[in-house]
Amino acid sequence: MGKTGEHTIALSLDGLEAENGHIRLDDFLSQLRALQDAIACVDYEANGRSTLYCRVVDLSHSSPATVKLEIVLRDALRKSELKSKYRNSPEIVHHRFFDSLESIRTQGRKIENTTEETIDSFVELVNGLGRSFSKGFIFNGRAQVPLDVGLSENLDGLTKPGFVSTGSVTGNLLSISFTRGNKFYLYPQLGPTSIACHFDAELEKKARACIKRRVRVTGRKLFRPNTGLPFRVDVTEIEELRIPRTFIQIHAPRKAYKGEPAHEAIARLRNEW
């Protein structure tokens, strides 16, 4: 494992003037949780599973309040045969996290294979600007990303549709979030990496029953103008798609004759039909 500080992500926050520049504890914890969730989303993007945890390596309150996290490979992976597969995960996730935030803030564009879950987690990082904190930064030794109006506006741009239609999409329902409204994330086999699906309370029971299953959702589809792909569905119907486990044999197995010429075998099989 690398030295402490090699794969660190720091968060600094200035409080509001009404609080004499200090940040409230609940607001600080909320921002810290948002950062942890964002790192976890990028981890899942990069590895298809959770491979990392965060530990606090520095903490100070000297205006601004600052916490430094180190992302570390999980113990279970360090001690298993999967170590060689995931040994570079901290470096990969660390780089992707900053690359993704920088791309959105400076260009208004998400990098390849960024999921809607990650975009939503980035939105949570800036939601408190002006309400919970007056100024904020996420940084390491080589990069610094302000949690400012520019980042907030570009994230808003990614969540506004270019056009809207009504229809359905199919994919795997892997997780549900109740942080801000009811929504789950759908992962299609083709097209967008993921789709955020918002649903009303009456569909909650159905959505919960379909976790880790393949479903078809129907509703109002929102598309990004630059990709032409849906990124959100306001869901009116959820249908679980069941794959048959048994198959009916429609004909008896045919005998094979050793040494039989190919043209004779074809003629015989045709006649058997």
- Give residue 244's pLDDT: 63
- Give residue 2's pLDDT: 42
Q: Give the model's confidence band at 246: pLDDT under 50 very low, under 70 low, under 90 confident, else very high.
A: low
What are the residue boundaries of the structural domains of the chain, listed by start? 8-158, 163-240
Look at residue 142 and give its three-state secondary structure.
coil
Q: Which two tokens stand for residue 152?
A: 């907030």
- CA 62 vs CA 17, 23, 196, 227: distances in Å: 15, 11, 39, 45
Of all residues in the chain, the percent with pLDDT exceeding 70 is 87
User: Rounded to an integer, what distance in angstroms lies between the CA atom of residue 139 and that of residue 9?
Assistant: 6
The answer to whether the beta carbons of residues 12 and 139 sit under 8 Å apart is yes
- Give residue 259's pLDDT: 58
Q: pTM here?
A: 0.81
- The pLDDT tens digits for 26-37 are 999 999 999 999
CATH superfamily of 163-240: Nucleic acid-binding proteins (2.40.50.140)
Q: Give the model's confidence band at 266: pLDDT under 50 very low, under 70 low, under 90 confident, else very high.
A: low
